[in-house]
Amino acid sequence: MKILNANQIRELDAYTIAHEPIASIDLMERASLTFINWFLNKFPNQDIPIHIFCGPGNNGGDGLASARLLQQRFYDVTVWFCKINDNISKDFQVNWERLPRRTELKVHTIEEGAPAPDLPQGAIAIDAIFGSGLNRAATSYWAALFEHLDQLNIIRVAIDMPSGLYADQHTDGACIHAHYTFVLKCRSWLSFS
């Protein structure tokens, strides 16, 4: 298996979008559907609370698409929008607008300085905060959030790669320690436990 660095991953996405051809938002939807199919097989119990942490970029867009798809399949889903900055990607915005506004899907915003959410024991946290584009250590607040999530008795699933973990260099800061990580490679998701 060839391991791609962060720049190669971006180039592969751009190549797929240009040559398939497929719109970026449609590629995101396809990847999210593939992730959800795995998730449904791995975690069929719809009563387990699902908490999806989304950053403002495309990794967060993956998380929002996954939240919508899980909610459509009657899972108990809560979205935590991690407002790291005001730079929201186009695909994140599209998936934000696609979220159902029903009582079954709870949406919260976490801003720097907010108390860390206390998730119930046995819940599943899906990490879609930073993804493979991270190239610097998480700031103190976000690093503390990662450490908080790591200390909870929950299952942690990362989309793309665990937040805080660098794609192609030694990680010198806090990162989420995922039980499962899903990496996009050649238009399919791979699972690492």
Fold of 6-192: Rossmann fold (3.40.50)
> What pairs with residue 109 in β-bridges?
81
Q: How far apart are CA 159 and CA 35, in angstroms?
A: 8
pLDDT digits (tens, 9 = 90+) for 10-47: 777 677 667 777 888 998 999 999 999 999 999 999 99
For the chain, domain boundaries = 6-192
Could you read off the pLDDT of 40-81 as tens digits, one per residue? 999 999 999 999 999 999 999 999 999 999 999 999 999 999
What 3-state DSSP class applies to 184? strand
- Whether 127 and 56 have beta carbons less than 8 Å apart is answered as no
